[in-house]
Amino acid sequence: MTTADDSPVPNYPELLRLDDRGFVVVGAGQGNGRQTVHALASVGARVLCVDIDRGLAEEVAAEVDGFACAADATNTADVERLLAQAQQQLGRVHGICDIVGMARWAALVDMPEEDWDWNFDMVLRHAFLLTKHGARLMAADGGGCISFVASVSGVSSSPFHGGYGAAKAGLLSLVRTAAVELATANVRVNAVVPGGIATPRLAKAHGIDLDQATDGALRSPARTSDIAAALLFLSSDLARHVTGHALTVDGGDLVQSPYPITAPLVEPGEALGVSRDGETASVVPA
């Protein structure tokens, strides 16, 4: 307390705790999903690990003394079943972290229609189903949070990302709309927006050494634990007033200018000016 401010100071580490809260992680079997399971469990959450591969779900669940469920999150009956299992085993579902997402790359003029539809199912359909059924369940119990993994492909453009990028943009729109619609039910909805991630699947496909690829520099690919850390924040009471938000975790890639710019160091009392041709930089008196 000071003479200017007598507002209470919360116990910030406690706001990160999720003791005895029930969370469902969909796509838990590897990569971002497995790390998210560990992140939530490390602060006391009880976790249902959902994956389309039962063996992977069981292995990850065993690591954190959690529960396992094999389900296809693009299937309505499976989503209803996994949420029913979550209620039975966790008692109450306080949050959902949906990690599911894959892509089929092709130029728009060459993309088969079935690949377009597949991208939207793999990126967006499960998000709709988990929001529809999961939010209703959480609203009835007083609220909760839903967090998704989107992509910078949903806010930027790259060749061959047409289907995937359009679906990820749709996911971000869904997050904003759901946040508005569910606010009165005390259900928060957010997304993490990664750039490049050195996941085990991609590392295997491209022969990448994960230790070398993720050396910690901002310009290196993200570790899967970086994405899990962001999801942990959004799932905790530290983010109690955060909803409808897209949290970018890309090492600064989106804010980097695409144009190479070099300029001399500016001394005190001077300002940086740009010549009329826009090609060269010069120092002028401040």
Q: What is the DSSP string of 240-262?
A: TT--S-EEEESTTTTTS-SS---
* Residue tagged 């990569």 (tokens): 31
pLDDT at 286: 45
The verdict on whether 151 is a catalytic residue reads yes
Q: For residue range 35-85, what is the model confidence (pLDDT) as tens digits?
A: 999 999 999 999 999 999 999 999 999 999 999 999 999 999 999 999 999
- Residue 103 phi, psi (nearest 5): -140, 150
**What is the overall mean pLDDT for the chain?**
88
Residue 119's Cβ-count burial label (10 Å; 0-12, 13-18, 19+) is: buried
Q: Model-level pTM?
A: 0.86
Q: For residue range 118-139, what is the model confidence (pLDDT) as tens digits?
A: 999 999 999 999 999 999 999 9
Alpha carbon distance 105, 85 (integer Å):
35
The verdict on whether 204 is a catalytic residue reads no
Question: Taking a C-beta distance cutoff of 8 angstroms, is the pair 71, 52 a contact?
Answer: yes
Alpha carbon distance 112, 117 (integer Å):
9
Our CA angle for 109, 129, 54, nearest 5°, is 95
Catalytic residue, chosen from 42, 153, 157, 164, is: 164
The verdict on whether 164 is a catalytic residue reads yes
Catalytic residue, chosen from 147, 153, 168, 235, is: 168
Q: For residue range 182-225, what is the model confidence (pLDDT) as tens digits?
A: 999 999 999 999 887 767 776 666 666 656 555 545 666 788 99
Question: Taking a C-beta distance cutoff of 8 angstroms, is the pair 233, 147 a contact?
Answer: no
Helices 162-182 + 113-120 axis angle, to 10: 30
pLDDT classification of 5: cutoffs 50, 70, 90: very high
Alpha carbon distance 237, 227 (integer Å):
18
Question: Taking a C-beta distance cutoff of 8 angstroms, is the pair 10, 84 a contact?
Answer: no
SS3 assignment, position 257: coil
pLDDT at 169: 93
Catalytic residue, chosen from 151, 153, 235, 236, is: 151
- N- to C-terminal Cα distance for the chain? 42
pLDDT more than 90, % of the chain: 67
Which residues are bridge partners to 98 per DSSP? 26, 148
Alpha carbon distance 89, 84 (integer Å):
9
Alpha carbon distance 161, 196 (integer Å):
14
Question: Taking a C-beta distance cutoff of 8 angstroms, is the pair 231, 97 a contact?
Answer: yes
